[in-house]
Structure 1
Amino acid sequence: MKRALTTSAALIATALLLPGCGERSQAEAARLKKADAKASSGAPAEAKVYTASGWTQGDDASWQNQIRGRTQGQNEYSRITATHTSATESAPLAAAPASAPVAKAP
Structure 2
Amino acid sequence: MRRLSATVALVSALVLLAACTEKPQTNAHGVRLDAAPWTGTGTKPDTGTAFTASGWQIGDRSSWEQHQKTRAQNQNEYNRIN
CA-based RMSD: 3.0
- Structure 1 match to 2:13: 13
Task: Kindly indicate whether structure 1 or structure 2 has the higher relative contact order, using CA contacts under 8 Å at least 6 residues apart.
Answer: 2
- Residue 59 of structure 1 corresponds to 60
Q: Give the alignment of 1:1-106 within 5 angstroms.
A: 1-18=1-18, 20=21, 29-31=27-29, 35-36=32-33, 37-45=35-43, 48-81=49-82
TM-score w.r.t. the length of structure 2 is 0.64
Q: TM-score, normalised by structure 1?
A: 0.53
Over the matched positions of the two proteins, sequence identity in percent amounts to 38
How far the C-alpha of 1:16 sits from its partner, in A, is 2.9
Structure number, greater radius of gyration: 1
Equivalent position SS for 1:57: coil
Runs of 4+ in 1 over 6 A off after TM superposition: none
Pair 15,47 (structure 1): closer, same or farther in 2 beyond 3 Å: farther
Q: 1:74 to 1:17 in 2, by over 3 A?
A: closer
